[in-house]
């Protein structure tokens, strides 16, 4: 191979680099460095003229490698690799030397920063010297998308992908799709009936020719890689054949077992055999094996006796389905922060202290009270209701530190709907701040405070407890500085939003991450909000962070568009910076095979290791374990690393 001709391009980044790194001196030093054929510096290397400078130099000076000394590779590595490609240089011969984030921005002393910048650039020159031209690995992919969670976010994502002409597998853990939105009465700020706008979408999702719906099902395992994930899903037995069930409801009437209804938030009971709600999709009964008397060991079978179509089958078994999908959208949603955690507010203790979702069920025409507000303790209509915002939110010492975002709005809605529902009623709202950012939101709250005679008290509630028939609320009105004591008939806590409890386990299965508070982590908080760091896995909805319906729908559509962009590609590209095995050196010990988390390595019949570059993600764990040095990471070999270390530690 002829001697290397490496070009070094030093960016000033305006003053971002130039202020602390003497780019002129850096350029001068690099000109003397072995293998460097060309050095240039420029104000903004990423600008069009900057890129042109790089392309021109590649052609003019017949460069065999390029080091861009500028910002983090996370910013502009693709930019310059593309520019090099256009100029006829293999993109994998281009590397970024990060002298901004790792140098000019974090050091104050100009001479120290300049010396460090030189070292960083020299390590990258050494890397480029050892790099080889590579071509992306092209892989085929299947044409299917998995959507996990069928609340409004998942439904929207599934419909969008399906409408684009791709098959979708929509998996929901509960017996019906619809999620929390199905539980709501009206939605802020327009007061649309929640079910009226949701149920058409639920039906559409269930009837769409491209959507396969799997309810009462869970994702057990995911393996593979972008474009070719293998997912294992367990469909739990419902013990009712949906094709035979005619929804007569006879089974429910005779079932002797009652448990609190999850959908009605425990305000009423349901039977062991039940339909979650009238508009449930799929429209069928489900036998909950945890509460049924009859499954094991002795069968009560009252339901089966009365079921005329013979839809009930006690011998139904869980089925495991294995599917290949190209992309996965995770829309696992939220759960309410447990009310029992709020002992100071009588949560779980005082019957007439309820959470916001319970109040939604009361307001809902299809709810247990038929839309009438009633006290859980005695069924009386409450004349004075206190609403407490930030219950479990914005309280880093005791509860969640974050703002749950939707509670200000739904509390205003609750108070307003309550005032409309009950004549001569009094609504009091305790708030820390009112956060009403959103189209029409502030106007909605203003209307509630000004025209609906809802009393807003600024301050935190200290204590809520039962006194005789009433619920006592102690708080402070921080605007007047006075203690407030209110005798309420009912208290509604605007509970904090938690990520759904299943989220953390699922992130382990999918090998994506969640933040400290347990919400799904996005690849970039601003610019890549619906992508995970794993290619082909997307996140959307309230599982990613507290959000309301319009935002959830937008994220569902956003994630869908990302998945569609992937599905429409003919072939997918995979980084070629994978592991290669030198068969001459490999002793066939097989240590690497056990190290690989992707089963990319195997032993061939001739007794040497072999790497499947489609499966290899390039982590290099096997390289570290290989006792002979036969396993090497392309473009970051042991040899390259040693050279880089040497120059990093050299004197000048």
In angstroms, what is the minimal distance from the CB of 509 to other proteins? Answer: 11
Spatial strand order in the sheet of 167-171: 211-214, 167-171, 144-148, 327-330, 537-539
Give dist(CA 110, CA 420) in Å, integer.
68
Closer residue to other proteins (CB): 73 or 558: 73
Closer residue to other proteins (CB): 19 or 235: 19
Q: Which of 217, 143, 184 lies closest to 502 in space, CA to CA?
A: 217
In angstroms, what is the minimal distance from the CB of 635 to other proteins? Answer: 11
Strand pairing category for 353-355 and 490-495: parallel
Closer residue to other proteins (CB): 18 or 143: 18
In angstroms, what is the minimal distance from the CB of 644 to other proteins? Answer: 6
Closer residue to other proteins (CB): 382 or 620: 620
Give dist(CA 576, CA 635) in Å, integer.
9
What are the residues facing 563 on neighbouring strands? Answer: none
Here the tokens at position 374 are: 């009633």
Place of tokens 């910048």: 117
Closer residue to other proteins (CB): 121 or 181: 121
Strand pairing category for 319-325 and 137-139: unpaired
Place of tokens 């209307």: 447
What count of other Cβ atoms lies within 10 Å of the Cβ of residue 555? 27
Report how far apart the first and last C-alpha atoms of the chain are (Å, whole number). 28
Residues that bind other proteins (CB under 8 A): 72-74, 98, 100-103, 105-109, 112-113, 115-116, 119-120, 123, 508, 511, 513, 515, 533-534, 577, 595, 597, 617-621, 623-625, 633, 636, 638, 641-642, 644-646, 648-649
Closer residue to other proteins (CB): 135 or 646: 646
In angstroms, what is the minimal distance from the CB of 107 to other proteins? Answer: 5
In angstroms, what is the minimal distance from the CB of 101 to other proteins? Answer: 3
Closer residue to other proteins (CB): 191 or 595: 595
**Distant-in-sequence, close-in-space partners of 158: CB < 8 Å, separation ≥ 6:** 145, 147, 150, 168, 170, 205, 208, 211, 329, 560
In angstroms, what is the minimal distance from the CB of 147 to other proteins? Answer: 23
Q: Which helix (H) or strand (E) holds 138?
A: strand 137-139
Here the tokens at position 73 are: 């590779």
In angstroms, what is the minimal distance from the CB of 37 to other proteins? Answer: 24
Closer residue to other proteins (CB): 245 or 506: 506
What count of other Cβ atoms lies within 10 Å of the Cβ of residue 605? 6
Give dist(CA 184, CA 164) in Å, integer.
30
The alpha helices in 87-221, defined as continuous H runs, are: 110-130, 152-163, 194-207
In angstroms, what is the minimal distance from the CB of 73 to other proteins? Answer: 7
The answer to whether residues 416 and 448 touch, using CB atoms and an 8 Å cutoff, is yes
In angstroms, what is the minimal distance from the CB of 72 to other proteins? Answer: 5
In angstroms, what is the minimal distance from the CB of 55 to other proteins? Answer: 25
Closer residue to other proteins (CB): 254 or 619: 619
Q: Which helix (H) or strand (E) holds 10?
A: strand 6-11
Closer residue to other proteins (CB): 462 or 648: 648
């Amino acid at each position: 191979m002829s001697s290397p001709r490496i070009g070094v391009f030093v960016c000033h980044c305006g003053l971002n680099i130039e202020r602390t790194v003497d780019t002129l001196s850096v350029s001068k030093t690099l000109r003397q460095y072995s293998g460097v054929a060309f050095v240039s510096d420029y104000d903004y290397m990423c600008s069009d003229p900057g890129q042109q400078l790089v392309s021109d130099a590649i052609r003019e000076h017949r460069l065999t490698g390029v080091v861009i000394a500028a910002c983090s590779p996370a910013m502009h590595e693709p930019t310059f690799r593309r520019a090099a490609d256009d100029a006829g240089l293999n993109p994998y011969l281009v590397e970024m030397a990060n002298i901004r984030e790792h140098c000019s921005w974090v050091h104050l002393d100009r001479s120290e920063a300049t010396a460090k910048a030189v070292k960083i650039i020299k390590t990258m020159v050494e890397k480029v010297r050892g790099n080889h031209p590579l071509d992306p690995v092209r892989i085929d992919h299947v044409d299917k998308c998995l959507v996990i969670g069928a609340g409004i976010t998942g439904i929207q994502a599934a419909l969008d992908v399906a409408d684009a002409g791709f098959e979708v597998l929509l998996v929901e853990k509960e017996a019906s799709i619809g999620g929390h939105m199905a539980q709501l009465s009206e939605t802020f700020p327009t007061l649309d009936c929640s079910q009226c706008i949701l149920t058409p979408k639920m039906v559409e999702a269930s009837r769409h020719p491209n959507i396969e719906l799997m309810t009462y099902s869970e994702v057990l395992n995911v393996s593979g890689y972008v474009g070719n994930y293998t997912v294992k899903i367990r469909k739990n037995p419902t013990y009712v054949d949906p094709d035979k069930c005619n929804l007569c409801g006879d089974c429910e009437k005779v079932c002797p077992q009652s448990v609190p209804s999850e959908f009605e938030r425990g305000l009423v009971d349901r039977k062991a055999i039940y339909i979650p709600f009238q508009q449930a999709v799929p429209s069928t009964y489900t036998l909950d094996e945890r509460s049924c008397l009859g499954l094991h060991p002795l069968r009560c079978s009252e339901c089966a006796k009365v079921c005329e179509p013979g839809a009930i089958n006690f011998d139904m078994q869980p089925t495991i389905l294995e599917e290949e999908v190209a992309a996965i959208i995770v829309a696992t949603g939220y759960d309410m922060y447990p009310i029992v955690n709020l002992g100071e507010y009588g949560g779980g203790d005082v019957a007439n202290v309820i959470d916001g979702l319970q109040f939604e069920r009361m307001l809902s025409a299809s709810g247990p009270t038929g839309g009438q507000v009633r006290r859980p303790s005695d069924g009386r209509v409450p004349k004075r209701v206190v609403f407490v915002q930030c219950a479990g939110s914005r309280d880093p010492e005791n509860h969640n530190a974050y703002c749950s975002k939707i509670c200000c709005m739904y509390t205003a809605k609750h108070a307003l709907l309550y005032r409309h529902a009950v004549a001569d009623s009094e609504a009091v709202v305790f708030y820390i701040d009112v956060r009403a950012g959103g189209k029409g939101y502030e106007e909605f709250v203003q209307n509630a405070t000004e025209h609906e005679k809802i009393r807003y008290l600024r301050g935190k509630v200290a204590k809520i407890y039962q006194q005789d028939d009433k619920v006592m609320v102690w708080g402070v009105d921080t605007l007047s500085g006075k203690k407030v004591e209110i005798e309420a008939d009912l208290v509604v806590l605007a509970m904090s939003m938690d990520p759904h409890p299943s989220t953390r386990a699922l992130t382990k299965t999918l090998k994506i991450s969640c933040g400290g508070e347990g919400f799904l982590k996005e690849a970039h908080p601003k610019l890549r909000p619906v992508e995970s760091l794993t290619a082909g896995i997307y996140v959307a909805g309230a599982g990613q962070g507290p959000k309301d319906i319009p935002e959830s729908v937008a994220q569902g559509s956003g994630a869908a568009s990302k998945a569609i962009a992937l599905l429409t590609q003919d072939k997918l590209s995979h980084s070629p910076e994978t592991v290669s095995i030198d068969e001459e050196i490999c002793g066939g010990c097989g240590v690497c095979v056990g190290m690989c988390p992707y089963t990319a390595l195997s032993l061939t019949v001739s007794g040497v290791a072999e790497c499947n570059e489609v499966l290899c993600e390039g982590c290099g764990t096997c390289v570290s374990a290989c006792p002979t040095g036969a396993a090497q990471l392309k473009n970051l070999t042991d040899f390259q690393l040693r050279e880089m270390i040497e120059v990093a530690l050299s004197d000048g």
